[in-house]
Chains A and B, each alone.
Chain A
Amino acid sequence: METFTKVQGVAAPMLAANIDTDVIMPKQFLKGIDRSGLDRGLFHDLRFLADGSLNPDFILNQPPWSKAQFLVVGPNFGCGSSREHAVWGLRQLGIRALIGSSFAGIFFDNCKRNGVLLIELDKEQVSAIGRTVSQASGAELEVDLPAQQIRLADGTSVQFAIDGLRKEALISGLDAIGSTLTLSEAIEQFEAGHFAANPWLE
């Protein structure tokens, strides 16, 4: 997993509520057995017109946001289907972090496992950042994970909270499975007790 420490780049505003994973990664891109080619699928029906050309009205097709590494998003972003393809697609298009007031639960976990930083702020803070980055001159920002700080082009900065385990995993690119397997003995002990108490689960 790619690590995340300090990243500087353009942020694109996408402030509609409830942007779901069907919109982020439509069904026709879910037919693979690997993770490849999902950059093409990301926001496909919004990014492309029926003839396959780029939709000029879509924010990620307009400079400077076409080079976005961050999205500033509306509430409940990533709701709906569990498809991790949505996060793989975001990552493949170069998105490193999302700033929003709330994220759907499964999407939140999927981001954590793919090195995509989710930053949760108050609605007012998200709106303010959204306004700033909506101006081409204010689109650039820096996210400093160790300092838990977003620095905007206008010189202001915003602190954010993140729990220690997620922060550490993002900074170090943790192998979550390897880490859990160091607890194999505890899992085995738990299973022995669990099946003794609930023998019909064995």
Chain B
Amino acid sequence: MQPKTLYDKHIDSHTICKLDDQGHVLLYIDRQVANEYTSPQAFSGLREAGRRVWRPSATLGVVDHVNPTSAVRTAEVADAGGARQVSYFGENCEEFGIELFDILDERQGIEHVVAPEQGYILPGMVIAAGDSHTTTYGALGAFGFGIGTSEIEHLLATQTLVYKKLKSMRVLVRGALGTQVTSKDVIMALIGQIGASGASGYAIEFQGPVIDAMSVEARMTICNMAVEAGARGAFMAPDDKVFAYLAGKPRAPRGALWDAALARWGELYSDPDAHFDLEVELDADTLKPMVTWGTSPDQVQSIDGQIPDPEAEPDLLKRMDMQRALRYMDLQPGTPFSEIPISHAFIGSCTNSRIEDLRMAATILRGRRVASGVRAIIVPGSTMVKRQAEAEGLAQQFIDAGFEWRQSGCSMCLAMNDDVLEPGDRCASSTNRNFEGRQGAGSRTHLMSPVMVVAAAITGKLTDVRDLFAEQED
């Protein structure tokens, strides 16, 4: 039998039928997660055509993009448009029989944090959802990918998508990560290495000792941000860590079903001789904390570097992109990163807002305080993460250090709610996109890991967290 990749196994086991001889298939989708801002027109479309939802139990609704994150939780959304989206989402979920985690639900949070923590995402599943970071689910051995609103409507109506198989890429992460070098740095370095469209048209499978050694939550960060390299899906073979993570989660199978599932999940790996269309390697031994300097996630370097000089770039179009990015970011070539002051620090988003992120971030504090003139904000990824962090005393440590401790939501990752930066603000951010205007029109974003955000918050400028950590050890 032809050896198969993990991706082959997922797609083959979910193919209902071929649709042509050019690679299009009708693909069965096990589950989807829906949010209030990309779904309204899909539900309206169903209603206008008089169509039903094919399998209501296969969709979970979560309010996350527009809700406020103010310190005290209320169901009020001050913005009229956002409020209408939340109420319409509620109407739609009720009418079509879809389960909803509304703003006040104790399970509410960012969809890609909530779905895994509920055990809603299981190995071997194929998941599609109206959000590009659906790739996150790859960390559980599920194949997840983002879709637009028309496809959401198609999925709701048929539980399928018309799909064309991607090419396959294996990313082998060798070596071992150094102190304070995280999975965020791995994925940022990969994006820098292959570019913002380096994985366009590919499904990535991550392998290697660094991945094996990582926690499930750390792996989620990698799969989440693989879309910033253009990947339409990124995953890892599920292992004992994944099974341990899922055991006992509210929606995970139990008893005999759990045993049957485990037996099946053990088959989810790429066969030893399976062919990948592209092989990429990344050396973790030499990896340092990473930080972006531009307006695309591939405009990234290690923190000990300096702002690059566009004049040194031979490719004219790339040079112009660099110049445009530096103009927007108001940065001069040759400036060391460690001399760039920040006005804001933000820990949140589906990339880095889980309990382990907060635990690691808190280890950097050790009684230090946020620098004067810096507004530092933490938005936990879910209400459950928030409560856990409060129970462990992490929240109080952040509050004592001068951080704002907020309710969960997407918040300042894309600034669709009222957490918006002003023009000229410069933010050290644990999020996933440094696009122009992403955190507010005219605002400037430097992407980095949560521990790097804490380091920047403490010193008031971009800072190598390893230097702060070394001080602690002295």
B28 and A194 within 8 A (CB): yes
A102 at the B interface (CB under 8 A)? yes
Nearest CB in chain A to that of B232: its residue: A105
Give the CA-CA distance A75 to B320 in the complex, in Å. Answer: 14
Residue from A87, A113, A181, A200 within 8 A of B122 (CB atoms) = A200
**B interface residues, how many (CB within 8 angstroms):** 76
Q: Does A80 contact B (CB under 8 A)?
A: yes
The residue on B at minimum CB distance from A194 is B28
| Measured CA separation A187–B257 after assembly (Å) | 24
A-B contact pairs, 14 of them (CB 8 A): A16-B321, A17-B321, A27-B414, A34-B41, A79-B196, A79-B230, A84-B38, A110-B149, A165-B22, A177-B153, A177-B157, A184-B158, A194-B14, A199-B260
Residue numbers in B under 8 Å from A197 (CB-CB): 264
Q: Which of B157-195 contact A (CB under 8 A)?
A: 157-160, 162, 164
B5 within 8 A of A: no
- Cβ-defined contact, B85 with A31, below 8 A: yes
- Whether the pair B132, A20 counts as a contact (CB closer than 8 A) is no
In the complex, besides A165-B19, A181-B157, A187-B159, 11 extra interface pairs with C-beta distance below 8 angstroms are: A17-B317, A17-B321, A20-B435, A22-B437, A23-B437, A31-B66, A76-B197, A83-B38, A106-B132, A110-B149, A187-B54
**Is A31 in contact with B79, judged by CB distance below 8 angstroms?**
yes
Would A200 and B441 count as touching, CB distance under 8 A? no
- Interface positions, chain B 127-170, Cβ under 8 Å from A, are 130-132, 145-151, 153-154, 157-160, 162, 164
Whether the pair A113, B260 counts as a contact (CB closer than 8 A) is no
Q: Does A201 contact B (CB under 8 A)?
A: yes
> Which of B30, B153, B320 interacts with A201 by CB under 8 Å?
B30
**For the complex, is B37 an interface residue (Cβ under 8 Å from A)?**
yes
CB atoms of B437 and A81 under 8 A apart: no
Report B-chain residues with C-beta under 8 Å of the C-beta of A110.
148-151
B431 on interface, CB distance cutoff 8 Å = no
Question: Which of B16, B37, B253 contacts A200, CB < 8 Å?
Answer: B253
Q: Which residues of B are found within 8 Å of A104, using beta-carbon distances?
A: 197, 200, 230
B162: chain A residues at CB < 8 Å are 165, 176, 180
Residue numbers in A under 8 Å from B158 (CB-CB): 177, 180-181, 184, 187
In whole angstroms, how far apart are the Cα atoms of A86 and B51 in the complex?
A: 26
CB interface residues, A 19-78, toward B, < 8 Å = 20, 22-23, 26-27, 30-35, 45, 74-76
The docked-state distance in angstroms from the alpha carbon of A80 to that of B151 is: 17
Cross-interface CB contact of A82 among B38, B41, B153, cutoff 8 Å: B38
Give the residue of B49, B84, B85, B148 whose beta carbon is less than 8 angstroms from that of A177. Answer: B49
Q: Which of A27, A165, A176 contacts B415 (CB 8 A)?
A: A27
Distance in angstroms between the alpha carbons of A200 and B162 in the assembled complex:
25
Chain A residues with Cβ under 8 A from B131's Cβ?
A: 81-82
A45 touches B51 (CB 8 A): no
Does the CB pair B26–A198 fall under 8 Å?
Answer: no
Contact of A33 with B261 in the complex, beta carbons under 8 Å:
no
Q: Which residues of B lie under 8 Å from residue A27 when comparing CB positions?
A: 414-416, 437
- Interface size class, chain A: 35 or more
**Binary contact readout B47-58 vs A (1 if CB under 8 angstroms, 0 otherwise):** 001010011000
Q: Is A2 an interface residue (CB 8 A)?
A: no
- A15 contacts B by Cβ under 8 Å: yes
CB distance from A145 to the nearest CB of B (A): 17
Instruction: Report A173-186 CB contacts with B as 1/0, cut-off 8 Å.
Output: 00011001101101
Q: Does A114 have its Cβ within 8 Å of any Cβ on chain B?
A: yes
A191 within 8 A of B: yes
Q: How far is the CA of A22 from the CA of B200 in the complex (A)?
A: 18
Contact (Cβ within 8 A) B16 A190 = yes
Look across to chain A and name the residue whose beta carbon is closest to the beta carbon of B132: A82
Q: Is the CB of A18 within 8 A of B154?
A: no
B42-100: which residues lie under 8 A (CB-CB) from chain A? 44, 49, 51, 54-55, 66, 79, 81-82, 84-85, 88
Chain A stretch 89-114: residues in CB contact (< 8 A) with chain B: 102, 104-106, 109-110, 113-114
A49–B263 CA distance with the chains assembled, in angstroms = 60
Complex: chain B residue closest to A46, CB-CB:
B436
What residue in chain A is nearest B46 (Cβ atoms)? A177
Which A residues lie within 8 Å of B437 (CB)? Answer: 22-23, 26-27, 45
Q: Which residue of chain A has the shortest Cβ distance to B251 in the bound complex?
A: A200
Cross-chain contact A83 with B296 (CB below 8 angstroms):
no
Interface status of A163 (Cβ within 8 A of chain B): yes
Given A31-B79, A102-B197, decide whether A84 and B150 contact each other with a Cβ distance below 8 A: yes
B200/A105 in contact, CB under 8 A: yes
Is B310 close to A, CB under 8 A? Answer: no
In the complex, A20→B164 CA distance in Å? Answer: 23
B354 within 8 A of A: no
Q: Give CA–CA (A105, B85) in the complex, Å.
A: 26
**A164 beta carbon closer than 8 Å to chain B:** yes
B208 interfacial contact with A, CB 8 Å: no
Q: Mark B404-430, 1 if CB is under 8 A from A, else 0.
A: 000000000011100000000000000
- Check A165 against B157 for contact (C-beta < 8 Å): no
User: Is B24 located at the chain interface by the 8 A CB criterion?
Assistant: yes
Residues of B contacting A31 in the complex (Cβ-Cβ under 8 angstroms): 37, 66, 79, 81-82, 84-85, 416
Closest 4 CB pairs of A and B: A31-B81, A113-B150, A200-B253, A76-B197
Across the interface, which residues of B come within 8 angstroms of A190, CB to CB?
A: 16, 28
Give B200 Cβ to nearest chain A Cβ, in Å. Answer: 6
- Of residues 222 to 244 in B, which have CB atoms within 8 Å of A's CB atoms? 230, 232
Smallest Cβ-Cβ distance to B149: which chain A residue = A84
Picked from A20, A26, A113, A164, the residue with its CB within 8 Å of the CB of B441 is A26
